[in-house]
Every structure is written in structure tokens, then in C-alpha cells.
Amino acid sequence: MQFIQSFIFSSTNIALLILVCLFIFAGCSSIVASTKDVKDLASLHSIPAPTFDTLQTNIALPYNDKLKNTTLTGALLLNDGIEAFLSRAALARMAQKSIILQTYIYKNDIASRLLMHEIWLAAQRGVVVKILIDDNGLDSDFSDIVALDSHANIEVKIFNPYKNRSKILRYPEMVFDFNRINHRMHNKLFIVDDMALIIGGRNIADNYFDRNQNVNFVDTDVLFIGRAAHDARDNFYEYWDFHRSIPVSLLPLKMPLKKFKASIANLKANAQWEQYEEAIHTIKQRYHNKSLEIYWGNAVFIGDSPQKIENPNAPKPIAQALGKILNFTHDNLYISAAYLVPSKDGMKHFENLLDSGVNVHILTNSLASTDSLVVYGAWERYRNKLIQKGAHIYEYQYQGVGKSKLRDKIPKSKASLHSKSIVFDDSITWIGSFNLDPRSVYLNTESVVIFDNPQFAQALKNDLIKDMQSAWRVYEKKGKVYWEGWHNEREQTFSYPPDTGIWTRILKSLSKLLPENQI
């Protein structure tokens, strides 16, 4: 799988309009596809989900003493990619009634295929499965995720589809139907039995689960048990019933299910299959034995309405909630943000915090580690002002030295930061799909959970501090910006973005010509 650097490799001689089209989705790699005109399908609606007692499910029973208090939600931090994958697989095996998967990207690779296998096994047991994927992130109409729709208990829909299924016609459609296609469903939810929710920044692909040999996205998920899962389910059905969610059964061509079964048979023949089975068994056992480090507290799920992609004046509850929490932050703020473009409104919040003495620590991608040069170019406009105001700024190293687990598993793999997590005043945590940029605020739909538990906040904060300690510390001296950090087994300081060539830096500078409100 190739690392996402489409701006570097494909934009040199392309006009500004085409640059916009190529850059606009650079925040996450994606391959697009589409169906017939969605206007003909506006009347389609979902079958109501079955009613059942969530407290009597396999997921709830070990924690019924806590879950009987309907205001409580349990939280398990998933900061390791393989653990994040195994947790999804284990939940699928525990599922009794329903599985919901909402994602922006699906790549037809090993991790994705394994997860689809677990979902297929659940459907074989009678579990009702609903899968919703943004069409901008669908690998192809011949993906396993599309093939699963032929199972009686699995229904798959694509969100805001392209009308043209041919790859060669996608870019022209981006130009001529720009206003519609420019808005995407960026939400990422995995919900089982209306009781367990995994939310965070991870899409469904090898490089989100530390399995890619070249480049992996370093990310953070949280498994929530209880109230947050109920609320996430309700938000999901708003998207499921939305008129731009189109059944894949309407696609003209798709992969037969028998090919999916054959690919799974090949995976089972692998020598590591037994280890995979043992790992899932261990996760399930630890869950039922209550030996996982689960924290309990109040959780609030906040999700955009799908109407946001059509109505620029639609409510923006996530951005509003973030602003309110920032207004009440008085001691310290720790941010891990893959894409950070504060805009004028965001800068006002940061300036107010710094002026009032709040200790602000920010980790984002370096120029070398980012998968979006245009986002980094926009970030530069604000970075120096934040440094001058007293913020502590760190940029992730492309070598990914901050993730020892990743380095041990795949020593030669590079890393790109993809997390979207915040800790406020050592007590409140924020996790979800929401990037701190104009695209998440105005163009894409997102979802987050806000969780109140000081011990959990400290655990996430400790993880962020470790990443910051091994990242580049960016500071200013006599009006010049420097990058300082441990690199190639020694402490080094650079006066230019480390691990980058002159051509990359030139392209980054040129990217600043693009409109910030479209990033």
C-alpha cells in the first residue's frame, strides 16, 4: 500500500482548479465510486432495528453492576493499532443482536478482510448487520465490504455516492458537482448490541491497525460501554435513513460472495491464523474476567446531522461543544491533532487560553509525517503565532519513534499521526473523528464522545506526553523557527522542517495559495 502524498507526486503541472480537487480529500487517502441518481432513491428507509434488552447481552452482563446506573459509561483506551483491531473482532464474536459499522475509508486489505470475516460469522449466527461507508473512501465496487451485502442479515449502503462508477470519470464529476461531492461523511463508529461503541480516528485498513510495512497511521480509539453506545446508535440511524445513503444492491457490478469466502480460506491457511484466534480469545477472556482497565464516568456522544452536507446553516454541535469546553478550561490543555488549522475563531480561543495562563501543549504532524501538504501549509500560518503566545508545539517524527509498540512490531515502518484527542484540565477527554480544521467544522460530518473521568484523562494525557517527548519540539529564537529532537540516535536541531527536501518545502509553500476554508 502506498503512502498518501498525492500532492507531491501528482500535482506539479496541474492547474489550480485541479489542485483543489486533488487536495480537497488529502486528509485521508481515498478511492471514489458511485451509483444512479440519488433523487430516485430518496424514499428508501431502513427496517427498524429489533428491540432487545441490552443489559442481557454478552457485552453488558460482566458489567451489569455499573450499567444498571444508566448515567454511567465505561471507557477502555485503545492506543495500540493491533489491540484496536482485536477489540473490534472480539466484539463481533460477542455480538448477539446487532452490529453497526460506519466508516469513511475501507481498503480491501488483510485487516479489513479479517474484520469482514468476523462480521460475516456474526451474521451467520443471526446478528443483524448494517454497514455505511462514504463513497469517497470505498476501495472499489468489488470490495469485500460490498460483497457482504448479498448475505441475508447484512445490509450495506454507501453515503453521498458518485454517479459515475468509472474511475476515469471521478475527477470531472468532482469539478462539475463540486458542492455536493465536497461534503463527506467522516464519522467512524463500530457499535455492537447497542451497548459497545468504538470511536476514534481509525478507518478500516491495514495502515490504521499497525499492519502496513511502509507507513502506518498512529491513532487513538476508545471502547465505550453503555449510554454512549445507545446515543451513537440513534445518530447512526439518522444517516442510515438519509436520502443520500444508497443501498449497494443498486450497484451495476460487485464481487460475488464466493470470492470473499475463498480469500478467507487463504487467510486461514496462513501459519499465523492460530495466533490470531488465540489473541481474540484472550481479549474476550479479559473482557469477561473484568481484567481490562475500564474507567467509569459520564459520557456525552455528539454527532453532526447528515443534513450538514446539504445545509450550510445546519447546527454545528461539535464545534459549539468544543468552544464551550475551551471557555471553561483554566489549567492545562493537551491536544493530539493530525490536522490542525485553527482558523480565526480557533485562534481566538487559543489566545484567550494562553493569555489567562493555561498551559497549552499541541502535537500535530510534521511536514515529513503529514499525508497532506496543504494542511501543513495552512498550519504554518498559525504555528508561529502560537509559539510566540507561549504554546508548547510538537511535530510528529516521520520515523514514529514515539510509538515503541509500533517500532517493535514493524521496525522499518514509517508513521503519520492520525489521532484526534484532547485532554482538558486533567479531567475531561475528547475523542472522535473531528479534526481541528475548517473541513470538520463546515464541510464534513463528524462524531465525538466527551468523557468525564480524571483517571482516564490522566491515562490519555500520559500517552500524549510520551508522543510529545519523542516528537520534534518546535520553538522560535530571534525570529527564526527551529526543530529540536532525538533523531538518528542523537539530539539534533534543524532550522528547516526535518526529513524533507527542498522540492517538498516548495510545494508546501505553493499550497498556501489554496483557500483555507476548503482544507
Q: What is the pLDDT of residue 399?
A: 76
Report the mean per-residue pLDDT for the chain. Answer: 88
- Bridge partners (DSSP) of residue 232 are none
Q: What is the pLDDT of residue 409?
A: 54
Q: Which residue has the higher pLDDT, 260 or 115?
A: 115
Instruction: Please say whether the beta carbons of 191 and 237 come within 8 A.
Output: no
pLDDT tens digit sequence for 29-39: 333 333 333 33
Is 60 exceeded by the pLDDT of residue 327? yes
User: What DSSP element (H or E) covers 102?
Assistant: strand 98-103
Which one-letter DSSP state was computed for residue 309? G
What's the grid cell of residue 198? 468504538
pLDDT tens digit sequence for 338-376: 999 999 999 999 999 999 999 999 999 999 999 999 999
In the predicted model, what is the mean pLDDT of residues 242-263?
Answer: 87
Q: What is the pLDDT of residue 413?
A: 66
Is 50 exceeded by the pLDDT of residue 4? no
Euclidean distance between CA atoms 357 and 396, whole angstroms: 25
pLDDT tens digit sequence for 392-445: 999 999 875 445 444 445 555 689 999 999 999 999 999 999 999 999 999 999
Q: Which of 14-23, 106-115, 305-314 has the lowest mean pLDDT?
A: 14-23
Euclidean distance between CA atoms 189 and 107, whole angstroms: 16
Euclidean distance between CA atoms 382 and 343, whole angstroms: 8
For helices 317-328 and 343-355, the axis angle rounded to 10 degrees is: 10
Q: What is the pLDDT of residue 1?
A: 33
Confidence of residue 43 (pLDDT cuts 50, 70, 90): very low
Euclidean distance between CA atoms 144 and 132, whole angstroms: 14
Cα separation of the two ends of the chain: 24
Q: Quote the percentage of the chain above a pLDDT of 70.
A: 87
Q: What is the pLDDT of residue 10?
A: 37
Residue type, 495: S
Is 70 exceeded by the pLDDT of residue 24? no
Q: What is the pLDDT of residue 52?
A: 87
Is 70 exceeded by the pLDDT of residue 158? yes
Strands (E), 343-459: 359-365, 392-396, 414-417, 420-424, 428-432, 447-452
Q: Which domains does the chain have, with CATH numbers?
A: 31-288 (3.30.870.10), 308-518 (3.30.870.10)
Q: What is the pLDDT of residue 332?
A: 98
Number of Cα atoms under 13 Å in the Cβ half of residue 118: 26
Confidence of residue 48 (pLDDT cuts 50, 70, 90): low
Residue 422: strand, helix, or coil: strand
pLDDT tens digit sequence for 449-472: 999 999 999 999 999 999 999 999
Q: What is the pLDDT of residue 400?
A: 55
Residue type, 94: M
Euclidean distance between CA atoms 69 and 72, whole angstroms: 6
Place of cell 495500540: 80
Is 50 exceeded by the pLDDT of residue 12? no
Euclidean distance between CA atoms 113 and 264, whole angstroms: 7
